[in-house]
Amino acid sequence: MLKKAIITGINGQDGAYLANFLLSKNYKVYGFYRRNSSNDFWRLKYFDILNKVTVIDLDITEQLEVHYYLNKIKPDEIYNLAAQSFVQSSFNNPYQTTIINSLAVLFFLETIKTLKLDTSFYQASTSEMFGNINSTKQNEKSGFNPRSPYGVSKLYSHNMCLNYREAFNMDTYSGILFNHESPLRGYEFVTRKITNFLASYYTNRNDKLHLGNLYAKRDWGFAGEYVEVMWEMINKKKDFDYVVGTGRTTTIKKFIEFCLNYLEINYQWTGEGVKEKCIDKKTGKAFIEISKEHYRPTEVNYLKADITKLKKDLKWEPKIKVQELAVMMMKSDLLRNK
Ligand code: NAP
Ligand code: F7E
């Protein structure tokens, strides 16, 4: 019999990669998505799998509907990827962020428990739960000090999954994933904002990119690889939580430079703080500037994963390095802009 998996947030970046991966493993895939006026399943179409998955119009905060579909499908695995995932927006919408990222997860856990389903549950946790802690690398034993409503909301769910595992012997997992990007990354996240802008700047040499803090450091990996770990965790059943990252960390400024070097755009940085600019040596004009509006009320300055446990237990480590990732995203956005 085919294994049945539900992916919540199937319309998101990870949802599309994971759906494609599970189909390759012969799963029957159900995807919960939230209808909005503009979604056209572009990511599922990218893999040409829209007709291979069963998509269900279901906002995960609809408790009764979640109960109905879990009872009907009785999935072997649930991958809870749906979230208000944009950190910046969580400062403006903390309540919605909490309802979706925290309380909806509790509903799922309660439903699995009360229906006595034999279902493994994967929760999409995040390095944002670490926030600012005093350590050069973060692993499963590091403390948590979230710095945004997003980070706080995800920490609630992480802890709730652990509690249901311990209290009710439920098969829950929490993947603490560091930033992962791809050509399918949402346009609001900084890597995609940069590659999308530079792809059009490359041909037009006009317009300006406005960014916030260029000096925060992130451990960026490739989403297409990271979704494999979600499946490995649920199927190998070694432990509750795993940190997933590359073990390298890079500033936003450096990510921009990887892209500019690939495009062979000659540039020079000038100024400091909000006056910092990147000048195009060919035109003599600034094409990247700082806007205060993109600064966060509280920032996570530094993240770097320690994946010792992942390597040891699951024999897994990422292959794609940040520079290759930048080039992959640049190439894809250049093609789309042609
Ligand atoms: P994403 O592209 O923003 O996808 C999230 C999806 O969830 C979106 O399609 C969104 O739908 C959907 N969603 C939001 N609220 C919903 C609701 N109430 N009901 C149903 N669907 C809803 O995020 P991602 O990058 O794929 O990340 C996947 C998960 O991993 C998220 O939980 C995120 O918080 C977590 N995570 C991501 C990273 C990363 O670097 N990418 C790192 C660690 C953890 P709309 O399109 O309608 O908004
Ligand atoms: O910001 C800085 C910003 O929005 C990265 C989500 O997937 O990963 C993601 O969260 C950094 C921050 O990602 C701009 O201040 C500067 O320091 O791309 P981001 P994020 O906040 O790290 C984690 C692991 C998740 O779980 C989240 O769901 O870049 N930055 N200037 C900017 N960021 C944005 N978005 N836009 C700017 O103009």
Check if 247 has its Cβ closer than 6 Å to any atom of ligand 2: no
How would you class 247 by CB atoms within 10 Å of its CB: exposed for 0-12, middle for 13-18, buried for 19 or more? middle
| 126 CB near ligand 2 (under 6 Å) | yes
Question: Rounded to 5 degrees, what angle do the CA atoms 179, 184, 186 make?
Answer: 65
**267 within 8 A of 119, measured Cβ to Cβ:** no
Task: Give the pLDDT score at 64.
Answer: 97
How close is the Cα of 321 to the center of ligand 1, in Å? 23
**Whether pLDDT at 337 is above 90:** no
Question: What distance in Å separates the CA atoms of residue 300 and residue 146, rounded to the nearest whole number?
Answer: 8
Give the three-state DSSP class for 261.
helix
- pTM over cut 0.95: yes
How far is residue 198's CA from residue 193's CA, in Å, rounded to a whole number?
A: 9
pLDDT at residue 266, as a whole number: 98
Beta pairing partners, 302: 217
pLDDT for residue 134 is more than 90:
no
**Number of Cβ within a 10 Å radius of residue 164:** 21
- Percentage of residues in the chain with pLDDT exceeding 70? 100
Q: What confidence category does residue 242 fall into, taking pLDDT thresholds of 50, 70 and 90? A: very high
Query: How many angstroms separate the Cα of 116 from the Cα of each of 29, 62, 72, 239?
Result: 21, 20, 13, 22
- By CB neighbour count within 10 A (0-12 exposed, 13-18 middle, 19+ buried), where does 266 fall? exposed
What residue owns the CA closest to ligand 2's atom 1? 190
* Mutate which of 84, 87, 294, 295 for ligand 2 pocket (most atoms within 8 A of beta carbon): 87
Name the closest ligand to CA 244: 1
- Would you call 126 a catalytic residue per the annotation? yes
Q: Are 272 and 240 in contact (CB under 8 A)?
A: no
